[in-house]
Amino acid sequence: MRDSSENKIEIILIRHGMTKNNLEKRYCGKKNNDDLLDDGIEKLIKNKAEDRYPSVDYLFSSSQLRALHTAKIIYPTLDPIIIDEFDETDFGEFEGKNYEDLKDNPLYQKWIDSNGEDAFPGGESKAEHCERAKIGFTKVLEIASKKGLKSMAIVGHGGTVMALLSIYASMNYYDCMVSTGLGYVCVYSYDTNRMSVKSKL
């Protein structure tokens, strides 16, 4: 039987670097495969030079270009395992739009009035995205357990980080928002199927 320390794994949750849509505060979701801005790349390189990202045994990423590019910059010696379920929320009709575009849209007001619980028109709800992220995390845990990993990084999106922390760390979904290129250092326990946050990146 493994001792309690062997039943835990350190998990680094990282949101991808900045894109043009992020800079313009636009909804940038599952259907948008934009890449990083030069400024976003430079910030990741600076963070890495400052040893902000802990070393890990294994690397997972969403399938989207901005996440894969971020993963390559932060962990250049590791080949990421792609987990499609870690792709960003499907923002439906709001994709590529920002507050100025949507402020007079009654569908947007309806979504706001739901406290962000309703599905985006033509897209996913928070609950649907969380369920998808949970499926992806289950896949990751299966790999980690089989390989006996002690640490891993997951490079995804703001929604990925919020979903995983709300499910496994019992944090409020919207309290887990994180800036581009940053994230959380967490410890997951196989015994309890729970995650605790050690620190922010």
Residues 167-200: pLDDT tens digits? Answer: 999 999 999 999 999 999 999 999 999 999 999 9
Has residue 108 been placed in a domain? no
DSSP string across 105-158: -HHHHHHHHTTT-SPPTTS--HHHHHHHHHHHHHHHHHHHHHHT-SEEEEEE-H
In which band, very low, low, confident or very high, does the pLDDT at 10 lie, cut at 50, 70 and 90? very high
Instruction: List the alpha helices (DSSP H) in the chain.
Output: 20-23, 38-49, 65-74, 99-102, 106-113, 126-147, 158-168
Has residue 117 been placed in a domain? no
Shortest CA distance to 176 belongs to which of 133, 114, 123, 122? 133
Q: What is the pLDDT of residue 64?
A: 98
Give 56 or 6, the one with higher predicted confidence. Answer: 56
- The CATH number that applies at residue 180 is 3.40.50.1240
Has residue 150 been placed in a domain? yes
Has residue 26 been placed in a domain? yes
Domain of 42?
Answer: 4-91+124-200
Has residue 107 been placed in a domain? no
In which band, very low, low, confident or very high, does the pLDDT at 3 lie, cut at 50, 70 and 90? very low
Q: For residue 57, give both structure tokens.
A: 């045994």
Percentage of the chain beyond pLDDT 70 is 98
Q: What is the pLDDT of residue 2?
A: 42
Q: What is the pLDDT of residue 1?
A: 34
Rounded to an integer, the average pLDDT of 46-55 is 97
Has residue 183 been placed in a domain? yes
Rounded to whole angstroms, how far apart are CA atoms 66 and 14? 12
In which band, very low, low, confident or very high, does the pLDDT at 5 lie, cut at 50, 70 and 90? low
Has residue 96 been placed in a domain? no
Q: Is the pLDDT of residue 144 over 80?
A: yes
Rounded to whole angstroms, how far apart are CA atoms 79 and 196? 26
The predicted-structure confidence for 55-68, as pLDDT tens digits, reads as follows 999 999 999 999 99
- CA dihedral in degrees (96, 102, 106, 111; nearest 10)? 60
Has residue 119 been placed in a domain? no
The tally of domains found in the chain comes to 1
